[in-house]
Amino acid sequence: MDALRRRIGLVAVAFMFAAVMLQEVAAVRYIVGANMGWTSNVNYTIWAQGKHFYNGDWLFFVYDRNQMNVLEVNKTDYENCISDHPLHNWTTGAGRDVVPLNVTKTYYFISGKGFCFGGMKVAIHVENPPPPPSSSPIKSASPSLLSTLRGQIFVPALFTVAAVWDAFVLLL
Ligand SMILES: *[C@@H]1O[C@H](CO)[C@@H](O)[C@H](O)[C@H]1NC(C)=O
Ligand SMILES: *[C@@H]1O[C@H](CO)[C@@H](O)[C@H](O)[C@H]1NC(C)=O
Ligand SMILES: *[C@@H]1O[C@H](CO)[C@@H](O)[C@H](O)[C@H]1NC(C)=O
Ligand SMILES: *[C@@H]1O[C@H](CO)[C@@H](O)[C@H](O)[C@H]1NC(C)=O
């Protein structure tokens, strides 16, 4: 009985590790403007079009540190290119600034020093991450299909994780 409980505990821990690893893999770091970087004469509305930004993703601004900067502002200041009172100044001075998109909201970024007026601005709509692909079909599946799915996927997966864990424990 104790051995079984221990085994179940170990499998649970292994699943937690797996879940954390999956989350890490799923987060995306976007280089703003892709190979153009953060500069003038790029339409960032077009760059952001069709992309899905999820809570947990990152933005990476790469630019000429002697000229531009990265300021997070509110919607009004974004529309009017006002850089006097940013919500957050992400400029570190290296010309390479990383912004974690850790709130589900629309972020507004501009470059100060006059560049915003030339179009150096981007609005990033951050959404909640979608549920993992396997969970939605299972949720809506009928009970019999559900048990079939469990039998075919879930149980073998459990054994695989348990086997991997056993191998791991043997190594210790
Ligand atoms: C943005 O900030 C300015 C100055 O603090 C304020 O006047 C304006 O109402 C704010 N706009 C929004 C949408 O919060
Ligand atoms: C933003 O921060 C950088 C680095 O600390 C600083 O040099 C710059 O003056 C700040 N810019 C604004 C608009 O606050
Ligand atoms: C998001 O990240 C910023 C910068 O690291 C941090 O200051 C802030 O507390 C974070 N917000 C949440 C809700 O985690
Ligand atoms: C960027 O492209 C969008 C969509 O084509 C357009 O509506 C917008 O005016 C453009 N922005 C600039 C600064 O040229």
Query: SS3 sequence, 108-133?
Result: EEECCCCHHHHCCEEEEEEECCCCCC
What does R_g of the chain's alpha carbons equal in angstroms? 23
Nearest CA residue ID for atom 4, ligand 3 = 100
Dist. CA 67 → ligand 2 center (Å): 12
Give the whole-angstrom CA distance, residue 102 versus residue 3: 41
Q: In CATH, which superfamily holds the domain spanning 29-127?
A: Cupredoxins -  blue copper proteins (2.60.40.420)
Domain positions in the chain are 2-24+140-171, 29-127
Substitution site in 46, 49, 80, 116 for ligand 4 pocket (most atoms within 8 Å of beta carbon): 46
Q: Does the global pTM surpass 0.75?
A: no
Q: Phi and psi of 47, rounded to 5°?
A: -60, -40
Give the whole-angstrom CA distance, residue 138 versus residue 143: 9
The whole-number pLDDT of residue 8 equals 56
The whole-number pLDDT of residue 160 equals 45
102 CB within 6 A, ligand 3: yes
Q: Residue 49: name the closest of 30, 65, 62, 68 by CA.
A: 30
- Per-residue pLDDT tens digits for 30-69: 999 999 999 999 999 999 999 999 999 999 999 999 999 9
The whole-number pLDDT of residue 131 equals 79
From the first residue on, what is the mean pLDDT of each consecutive set of 10 residues in the chain (172 residues)? 61 55 74 97 97 98 98 98 98 98 98 97 95 59 42 41 46 42
The whole-number pLDDT of residue 39 equals 98
